[in-house]
């Protein structure tokens, strides 16, 4: 079942416009009633309303921000400070966590009623023993091997699927977009019916992936859930090896929703002329934080060499004592 979030934007929300960033190409949605000027939440370039593009679809629901700007600044500062030892000097000089911006990210939530058929082999340990002597011992296991099959119905509730093609197609050589999904989950049960007033001074991104385009991802994630459910219900202490898997979706319900993220970005210009965008993302509800900062490779190598030297010294001391 599809909700009304797949329909075109209505005239009452005409003040919600989508602007294409001329810096990084991101499509940013802003509320022109409260923002005459805005910056891209990815690269912080000033957006121009001369580059408007069609809005697409109105989401069904929005999960309002819970963390304030001040709380998000503190989370970003804590995250960066823990990694300050290895950070580039230029980053430490230019680091301004106050530049963190609030953005609503588009997702599709899916409820599913499914049936799974999974088959493979499981092992139960019957004996453990060692062979060899002194420091040259090897541990062996004996195990009984069983053929295992599972066939069961299960339900999935509020599975969260990325619905922006720019975020779904992650290029780890140029950015760290993947950090957005590391701050999941969100308390989506507290989402409310979409209202443009929730936008306020926040920006957002528009959904540009349809259900059929994200269905392969949803199917794969539901199969992973089924695999885990099948594994949890077994007693095979030496593990399971699933060799065939099948998933039948009996029914689904899709909802388009905007989820709140505080986002800090830093543009690193490398010595070889290339560029890399670092992001620190904060879950706008829970405060969960993840991201990346530019690091000094020489510092990392120095620490690695120092640790290696210390460990080598300890090993020599132990041998000498013997």
> What does the H/E/C string look like for 60-102?
CEECCCCCCHHHHHHHHHHHHHHCHHHECHHHHHHCCHHHCEE
Identify the pLDDT of residue 167: 74
Identify the pLDDT of residue 28: 77
Q: Residue 17 half-sphere exposure, CB side, CA atoms within 13 Å?
A: 18
Task: From first to last of the 322 residues of the chain, give the pLDDT tens digit.
Answer: 656 554 443 444 556 677 777 666 677 776 655 554 577 776 767 665 555 545 556 789 999 999 999 999 999 999 999 988 888 889 999 999 999 999 999 999 999 999 999 999 999 999 999 888 877 888 898 999 999 999 999 999 999 998 888 776 665 665 566 777 889 999 999 999 988 788 877 888 888 888 999 999 999 999 999 999 988 867 888 888 999 999 999 999 999 999 999 999 888 887 777 778 888 999 999 999 999 888 876 665 655 555 555 445 444 443 343 3
Identify the pLDDT of residue 55: 55
Closest residue by Cα to residue 108 from 12, 3, 198: 3
Q: Which domain holds residue 26?
A: 4-321
Quote the number of domains for the chain: 1
Show contacts of 170-176: CB within 8 Å, 24+ apart.
174/275, 174/276, 174/277, 175/276, 175/277, 175/278, 175/279, 176/277, 176/278, 176/279, 176/291, 176/292
Torsion of CA 85, 167, 181, 43, to 10 degrees: 30
Find out whether 109 and 188 touch, Cβ atoms under 8 Å.
yes
Identify the pLDDT of residue 24: 67
Can you tell me the distance from the alpha carbon of 152 to that of 250, in angstroms, rounded to the nearest whole number? Answer: 13
Q: Show the tokens assigned to 130.
A: 């060692």
Find out whether 57 and 9 touch, Cβ atoms under 8 Å.
yes
Q: Show the tokens assigned to 56.
A: 């697409």
Element (H, E) at 304: helix 297-321
Identify the pLDDT of residue 147: 93
Identify the pLDDT of residue 134: 76
Can you tell me the distance from the alpha carbon of 62 to that of 195, in angstroms, rounded to the nearest whole number? Answer: 8
Closest residue by Cα to residue 260 from 170, 165, 211, 192: 192
**Measured CA distances, 273 to 265, 269, 312 (Å):** 19, 7, 38
Beta-strand pair 61-62/240-269:
parallel
């Amino acid at each position: 079942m599809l909700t009304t979030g797949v329909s075109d934007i209505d005239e009452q929300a005409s003040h919600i416009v989508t602007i294409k960033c001329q810096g990084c190409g991101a499509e940013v949605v802003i509320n022109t009633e409260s923002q005459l000027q805005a910056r891209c939440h990815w690269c912080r370039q000033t957006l121009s309303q001369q580059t408007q593009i069609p809005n697409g679809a109105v989401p069904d629901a929005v999960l309002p921000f819970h963390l304030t700007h001040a709380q998000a600044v503190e989370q970003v500062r804590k995250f960066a400070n823990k990694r300050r030892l290895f950070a580039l000097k230029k980053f430490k000089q230019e680091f301004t966590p106050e530049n963190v911006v609030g953005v609503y990210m588009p997702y599709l939530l899916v409820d599913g009623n499914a049936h799974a058929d999974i088959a493979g082999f499981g092992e139960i340990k019957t004996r453990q023993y060692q062979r060899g002597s002194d420091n040259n011992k090897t541990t062996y296991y004996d195990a009984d091997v069983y053929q295992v099959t599972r066939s069961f119905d299960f339900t999935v509730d509020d599975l969260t699927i990325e619905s922006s093609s720019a975020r779904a197609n992650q290029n780890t050589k140029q950015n760290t977009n993947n950090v957005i999904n590391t701050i999941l989950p969100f308390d989506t049960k507290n989402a409310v019916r979409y209202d443009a007033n929730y936008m306020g001074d926040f920006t957002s991104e528009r959904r540009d992936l349809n259900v059929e385009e994200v269905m392969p991802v949803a199917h794969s994630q539901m199969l992973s859930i089924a695999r885990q459910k099948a594994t949890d219900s077994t007693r095979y202490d030496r593990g399971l090896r699933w060799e065939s898997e099948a998933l039948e979706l009996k029914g689904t319900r899709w909802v388009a929703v905007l989820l709140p993220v505080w986002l800090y970005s830093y543009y690193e210009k490398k010595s070889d002329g290339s560029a890399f965008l670092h992001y620190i993302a904060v879950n706008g509800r829970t405060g969960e934080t993840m991201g990346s900062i530019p690091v000094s490779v020489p510092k990392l190598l120095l620490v690695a060499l120092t640790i290696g030297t210390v460990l080598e010294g300890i090993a020599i001391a132990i041998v000498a004592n013997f």
